[in-house]
Structure 1
Amino acid sequence: MASEHIEQKLALLPDLPGSYQMKDLNGKIIYVGKAKNLKNRVRSYFKSEHSGKTAQLVENIADFDFIVTSSEKESLLLEITLIQKYQPYYNIRLKRGTGYPYIKITHERDPKIELVSEVKPDNGQYFGPYPNVYAAQETLHFLQKVYPLRRCNGYQGRPCLYANMGQCLGPCYHEVPTAEYDAQIHKIQRFLDGDTKTVKKTLNTKMMAAAEKLEFERAADLRDQLKFIEATVEKQKIISKDGTPRDLFNFYLDKGWLSVQVFFIRQARLMKREKRTFAIVDTAEEELTSFILQFYNRKNAILPKEILVPKGVDTKMIAEVLHVAVRTPQRGEKRELMDLAAKNAQIVLAEKFRLMEMNESKTNGAMQEIADALNIPTIHRIEAFDHSHTQGEEMVSAMVVFEDGIPNKSLYRKYKIKTLDHADERAATMEVIRRRYTRVLKEHSDLPDLILMDGGEIQLNAAREVIEDELGLAVPVAAMVKNDHHKTADLLREEGEPHVHLDAKSQGFFLLQRIQDEVHRFAITFHRNLRSKHSLASKLDEINGVGPKTRQKLLTTFGSINKIANASIAELRAVGVTEKVAQAIKISLTALKDADS
């Protein structure tokens, strides 16, 4: 049942296209959608029955906003922009980078061909991405041998090694005509577009001619190049009659989960595939459209010549946004590929469901074992705390969160102890627990079902004093008691009571050890990083010639100790220090960084 506030806002929704943003109790955007008709679409969330992830979303909606656009296309573009800006929990979200390399021909007087990991607005020609990094490297090496451009650093008055080997056009010793570069680049383009037949024919002709001239070494080299093409470029079965670079998307939907398959077709071959699974809120077709647009809106993405999508997806809309041909195959080899992608998507989703069932059985069973041992009805969320310090100094604390037996790293928290300059486990525990759950209450966030302290009676009593006496909360607290090997062995619920034992071979025991190891790791890592920063900062004071004023100038100019350590001698001199002091700063900070790493 929608609240009165939401009911009032629903009545004001216009019959226009736009984007809507669902918010939780804290005003955080948890879902972004688009609509041809905002009034009908947004009202459907509150006036219809839902299940799965959509039902979870609706339960958490406390408010919503909307932005009217002039067309559905604009609403789609706005939706993708807002998803990538706010990363809402209930939307499909993709990382910005592809992580795949590209083959690039540089835009300069004497161009080079190289392998890069990022597409830049530098007017260079980019080919890819190539999901198989090794294949991309081998393809580059082949092109450098067969269609050389520049491999040296430029004019040096004599041929470079590669020029002597026939793998550089020779700007190192003479001016290469632009037309010669253009001819090579055209051949490279044809090769990367799948025209390997022409390359093989040319190489075979050259090989036969070399053999007739008794140039057997040259013939053997050309033979090896032919074998390379067969072993690398042509090792996959041809699946298309043309070399058009195209990407194919298809999906399978079941139980509110969407399984997506992406086929990369390059050089008339299936080069690689990507697979993703998501729990979704909207229809499969709408979610796939969002996925495709985010897929190509990533940092290193290059559009193919053609995109293939299944029936029901708005090809016209995607084509208008991406400015590339988008089609739905009806028959032939492309249709067969589309069916193959759907079949793979179904297999992946079935496998995920099996794994989910197995993991759910293990993790839920482990959580219930811990709950039963502590006489708690049920546990879904555990928050665990640990401290770290160096001989009582630089004390810090950390919190990890496990939900249904799985760590939720987005909810982890770090704490610098503010009220202590020495080791005091009780005071540190009280400060961190007070800070954590005062904020939870203030923000109306969810409380855990169990709080675990990595320690013994001191930490347990301190945490309970804050939770029960100061804040008046009824959240169970227990301590993870360690054995002589610093491993969790038992649980302690009340001082003076016997330890709560778990079967050492049970899932509950293993989960408890995972929680203890994780919170200890997180606290130690935080402390080491902090100590490293402090060590670098204090090191400045030990350098002769660096006083308080110089130190402040350095920090103001560079912003951090790491940037000071990475600065050049000239950059350090620009702050006003002498050559000798600049060298001392460089040597001292670099040595300390190397020691810390």
Structure 2
Amino acid sequence: MTVEEQIREQIKHLPHRPGIYKFYDDKGIIYVGKAIDIRKRVSSYFNRSTQHNKKTKKLISQIQRIEFTIVDNEADAFLLENNLIKQHQPKYNILLKDGKTYPYLVITNERFPRIFSTRNKINDGSRYFGPYPTGTSMYVLLELIRSLYPLRTCSYNLSQANIDAGKFKVCLEYHIGNCKGPCENLYSEEEYNQHIQQIRNILSGNLSIAKTYFKERMSEAAADYQYELAHQYKQKLDRLEDFQAKSTVVSHTLTNIDVFTITSNEKCAFVNYLKVMNGSIIATQSLELQKKLEETDQDILASIIMQLRQEFESLSREIIVNVPDIELPLENVSITVPQIGDKKKLLNLSLKNALYLRKEKESMQDKSKDSNEVRIMETMKKDLRLTELPKHIECFDNSNFQGDNPVASMVCFKNARPSKKDYRHFHIKTVVGPDDFASMYEVVTRRYRRLLDEGTPLPQLIIVDGGKGQLGMGVKALKDLGIYSQVAIVGIAKRLEEIFYPGDTLPLYIDKKSESLRLIQRIRNEAHRFAITFHRSLRDAGTLQTELTQIKGLGPATAEKLLTKFKSVKKIAELSQQELEAEVGKSKAKLLLNHFGKA
């Protein structure tokens, strides 16, 4: 029994239950998926294989065995899938950065609590805020808090007994005004805890309590004629208001909202997440995700919503998105696509960030492509000893079949890329029979006479598919048009990939690994493909007429097959019965033998 037969047999015994499934190759897990019905979902990979894209077909071809885990509901399947993807990082799953590497701000569970950054959450009763998508955003908040409140940074055990015993002395932080010296009982625990409570509110996105506190202290200091102290409170209030002005994007009536937007191209998806509390964005994350299989925007966003909410510990009851039909196994959570109002503005802001990331990434890719193409053209200029960078290249190829329907093609490459709108087909008009040299002269003449008549710029390089003969006719055409000195022209012979120059008896051999030779070959092959396709379309329209097609019972496809391989009717007539049967079968071989009088 083959591997595929074993898998299909295993699928018959999969349960019709919610859960996750794991695909293995010979090295380990390559894909983890979730399903409401495990058997139906897994069966879809094998029952609709012709509808899958290349990546999915490749995944299916590598599956050696399948494992599954049943869970109680779809929500549990989401969570289990997420955890398994993080643990195993299968190559066909979209991967998200593990949340344990994100930074947090922690307020310690101790007397005179400290606040600092950490990447490790410990279950010690301390209060953790975050995670923050970047260290920069976290440090901005931490510096704001330290500029507002004189908190201790030491790790001493500031129990009342230790303080009363005089075990500690104030440090430099006290002398420069960053700490009020709780270690020597110079800072009351009540006032310290009041500040800690305000910090908790700031970190939760609520700045109003802290602003009210500083306004009151400023008024009190001014009333007591303590203008320097009032100015200090005024500076702290200004810092808070400046921070809020930069972070407030919607009405304060909108609280505890998660915003997710997605935009994608064929290869990647770009997602933005905004975590909003009390009208302020307290966390934002933009992600580029490589598509692995046939994921839709809905599939990707549903998975990312679950993962990011878990990473950022979001408990919001409202999620707004930019694509409809997102289904999530979340109870008492609404998912909407707002059309108007502040929520729509918030959605637009998130989408703007996603689109910016997409534009930035695609621009980088384009610049990389442009850089590669310039390098290739510069290499070609050097290899072919050209005087100009070959930004515009045209290549000609002829095609005829037993002398019937001679045609030619011209393909155009600009900046080392195909410019298909400039491709041209030619019916040979002045040449009778299979004369490739005369045909080349005709099409080169017609092409560049037209460009001259239209005032269209000439290419920097012309390539003719063929050796000295075809190149010579191309040169003659350019000379007769009076433009030979304006355009470089070379020929490429198929057998040894030799490059011929006008007037040079010895060909040029370019390194087989050279980028310029690969580009020339690509252009030549594209011209050949374009000519053959055109010629075949003419034959398919019933224009192929040879001695073979006159034989009753022998169709154009068989005639074309034989003539393509053996080149002429004469050589076909010389084949033995066994050779003919090997090519077309017994019945058609008999027809051919009768026709040639050999039966």
Note the C-alpha offset of 1:308.
1.9
Q: Return the letter of the residue paired with 1:345.
A: A
> How many residues in Structure 1 have an aligned counterpart in Structure 2?
376
Cα distance in 2 between the residues matched to 1:99 and 1:14: 37
Provide Cα deviations, 1:461-493, integer angstroms capped at 9, x if missing partner.
Answer: xxxxxxxxxxxxxxxxxxxxxxxxxxxxxxxxx
Residues 160 and 172, structure 1, Cα contact 8 Å, conserved in 2: no
Note the C-alpha offset of 1:88.
0.8
In the superposition, relative to structure 1, how do residues 183 and 41 fare at CA in structure 2: closer, same or farther (>3 Å)? same
Cα distance in 1 between the residues matched to 2:377 and 2:67: 40
1:336 aligns to 2:336 (yes or no): no
In the superposition, relative to structure 1, how do residues 58 and 186 fare at CA in structure 2: closer, same or farther (>3 Å)? same
In the superposition, relative to structure 1, how do residues 254 and 235 fare at CA in structure 2: closer, same or farther (>3 Å)? closer
In the superposition, relative to structure 1, how do residues 297 and 138 fare at CA in structure 2: closer, same or farther (>3 Å)? closer
1:32 aligns to 2:3 (yes or no): no
**Alignment correspondent of 2:46:** 46
* 1:12-27 equivalent positions in 2, closer than 5 A: 12-24=13-25, 26-27=26-27
Cα distance in 2 between the residues matched to 1:145 and 1:346: 35
**Alignment correspondent of 1:276:** 288
Cα distance in 1 between the residues matched to 2:63 and 2:248: 50
* 1:199-238 equivalent positions in 2, closer than 5 A: 199-238=210-249
Residues 193 and 244, structure 1, Cα contact 8 Å, conserved in 2: no
1:90 aligns to 2:92 (yes or no): yes
Q: Return the letter of the residue paired with 2:297.
A: A
Residues 246 and 304, structure 1, Cα contact 8 Å, conserved in 2: no
In the superposition, relative to structure 1, how do residues 237 and 77 fare at CA in structure 2: closer, same or farther (>3 Å)? closer
Cα distance in 2 between the residues matched to 1:71 and 1:32: 17
Cα distance in 2 between the residues matched to 1:3 and 1:16: 23
Provide Cα deviations, 1:163-200, integer angstroms capped at 9, x if missing partner.
Answer: 56765454312397765444333222223333334433
Cα distance in 2 between the residues matched to 1:133 and 1:112: 19
Residues 158 and 173, structure 1, Cα contact 8 Å, conserved in 2: yes
**Alignment correspondent of 2:394:** none
**Alignment correspondent of 1:292:** 305
Residues 264 and 270, structure 1, Cα contact 8 Å, conserved in 2: yes
Q: Return the letter of the residue paired with 1:34.
A: K
In the superposition, relative to structure 1, how do residues 143 and 369 fare at CA in structure 2: closer, same or farther (>3 Å)? closer
Cα distance in 1 between the residues matched to 2:138 and 2:230: 25
Residues 280 and 287, structure 1, Cα contact 8 Å, conserved in 2: no
In the superposition, relative to structure 1, how do residues 169 and 304 fare at CA in structure 2: closer, same or farther (>3 Å)? farther
Residues 309 and 315, structure 2, Cα contact 8 Å, conserved in 1: no
Residues 21 and 33, structure 2, Cα contact 8 Å, conserved in 1: yes
Q: Return the letter of the residue paired with 1:6.
A: I
**Alignment correspondent of 1:104:** 106
Cα distance in 1 between the residues matched to 2:68 and 2:78: 13
* 1:507-586 equivalent positions in 2, closer than 5 A: none
Cα distance in 2 between the residues matched to 1:116 and 1:129: 10
Q: Return the letter of the residue paired with 1:51.
A: N
Cα distance in 2 between the residues matched to 1:367 and 1:31: 38
Note the C-alpha offset of 1:42.
1.0
Residues 21 and 67, structure 2, Cα contact 8 Å, conserved in 1: yes
Note the C-alpha offset of 1:254.
4.1
**Alignment correspondent of 1:7:** 8
In the superposition, relative to structure 1, how do residues 344 and 111 fare at CA in structure 2: closer, same or farther (>3 Å)? closer
Q: Return the letter of the residue paired with 1:217.
A: E
Provide Cα deviations, 1:372-391, integer angstroms capped at 9, x if missing partner.
Answer: xxxxxxxxxxxxxxxxxxxx
In the superposition, relative to structure 1, how do residues 3 and 171 fare at CA in structure 2: closer, same or farther (>3 Å)? same
In the superposition, relative to structure 1, how do residues 130 and 178 fare at CA in structure 2: closer, same or farther (>3 Å)? same
Q: Return the letter of the residue paired with 1:43.
A: S
Residues 247 and 304, structure 1, Cα contact 8 Å, conserved in 2: no
In the superposition, relative to structure 1, how do residues 332 and 36 fare at CA in structure 2: closer, same or farther (>3 Å)? same
Cα distance in 2 between the residues matched to 1:137 and 1:235: 16
Q: Return the letter of the residue paired with 2:226.
A: E
What is the DSSP-based 3-state SS (H/G/I as helix, E as strand, rest coil) of the residue aligned with 2:275? Answer: strand
Residues 274 and 281, structure 2, Cα contact 8 Å, conserved in 1: yes
Residues 277 and 349, structure 1, Cα contact 8 Å, conserved in 2: no
**Alignment correspondent of 1:249:** 260
Note the C-alpha offset of 1:96.
1.6
**Alignment correspondent of 2:67:** 65
Residues 139 and 233, structure 1, Cα contact 8 Å, conserved in 2: no
Q: Return the letter of the residue paired with 1:42.
A: V
In the superposition, relative to structure 1, how do residues 10 and 139 fare at CA in structure 2: closer, same or farther (>3 Å)? closer
Cα distance in 2 between the residues matched to 1:334 and 1:356: 33
Note the C-alpha offset of 1:142.
3.9
Residues 151 and 167, structure 1, Cα contact 8 Å, conserved in 2: no
In the superposition, relative to structure 1, how do residues 347 and 171 fare at CA in structure 2: closer, same or farther (>3 Å)? closer
* CA root-mean-square deviation: 4.2
Note the C-alpha offset of 1:67.
2.5
**Alignment correspondent of 1:260:** 271
Q: Return the letter of the residue paired with 2:125.
A: N
Note the C-alpha offset of 1:106.
0.4
Q: Greater shift after overlay, 37-46 or 185-194?
A: 185-194
In the superposition, relative to structure 1, how do residues 266 and 367 fare at CA in structure 2: closer, same or farther (>3 Å)? farther
What is the DSSP-based 3-state SS (H/G/I as helix, E as strand, rest coil) of the residue aligned with 1:121? Answer: coil
The two structures have a TM-score, normalised by structure 2, of 0.53
In the superposition, relative to structure 1, how do residues 61 and 294 fare at CA in structure 2: closer, same or farther (>3 Å)? same
Cα distance in 2 between the residues matched to 1:217 and 1:148: 17
Cα distance in 1 between the residues matched to 2:232 and 2:190: 27
Note the C-alpha offset of 1:253.
4.2
Q: Greater shift after overlay, 152-161 or 53-62?
A: 152-161
Cα distance in 1 between the residues matched to 2:360 and 2:169: 61
What is the DSSP-based 3-state SS (H/G/I as helix, E as strand, rest coil) of the residue aligned with 1:252? Answer: strand
State which of 313, 325, 340 in structure 2 corresponds to 1:312: 325
Gaps of 5+ in 2: 380-508, 520-599
Cα distance in 2 between the residues matched to 1:339 and 1:71: 34
In the superposition, relative to structure 1, how do residues 347 and 274 fare at CA in structure 2: closer, same or farther (>3 Å)? closer
Cα distance in 1 between the residues matched to 2:131 and 2:222: 38
Gaps of 5+ in 1: 371-497, 509-597
Residues 195 and 243, structure 1, Cα contact 8 Å, conserved in 2: no
> Which protein shows a greater Rg?
2
Note the C-alpha offset of 1:39.
1.7
**Alignment correspondent of 2:139:** 137
Cα distance in 1 between the residues matched to 2:187 and 2:272: 46
1:117 aligns to 2:119 (yes or no): yes
Cα distance in 1 between the residues matched to 2:377 and 2:44: 37
Residues 113 and 144, structure 1, Cα contact 8 Å, conserved in 2: no
Q: Return the letter of the residue paired with 2:183.
A: C
Note the C-alpha offset of 1:46.
1.5
What is the DSSP-based 3-state SS (H/G/I as helix, E as strand, rest coil) of the residue aligned with 2:69? Answer: strand
In the superposition, relative to structure 1, how do residues 354 and 50 fare at CA in structure 2: closer, same or farther (>3 Å)? farther
Cα distance in 1 between the residues matched to 2:264 and 2:11: 30
In the superposition, relative to structure 1, how do residues 278 and 172 fare at CA in structure 2: closer, same or farther (>3 Å)? same
Percent identity (aligned):
28
Note the C-alpha offset of 1:227.
2.9
Q: Return the letter of the residue paired with 1:127.
A: F
**Alignment correspondent of 1:191:** 202
In the superposition, relative to structure 1, how do residues 115 and 13 fare at CA in structure 2: closer, same or farther (>3 Å)? closer
Cα distance in 1 between the residues matched to 2:16 and 2:182: 65
Cα distance in 2 between the residues matched to 1:343 and 1:506: 43
Cα distance in 2 between the residues matched to 1:261 and 1:161: 43
Residues 105 and 117, structure 2, Cα contact 8 Å, conserved in 1: yes
**Alignment correspondent of 2:411:** none
Note the C-alpha offset of 1:247.
3.5
What is the DSSP-based 3-state SS (H/G/I as helix, E as strand, rest coil) of the residue aligned with 2:86? Answer: helix
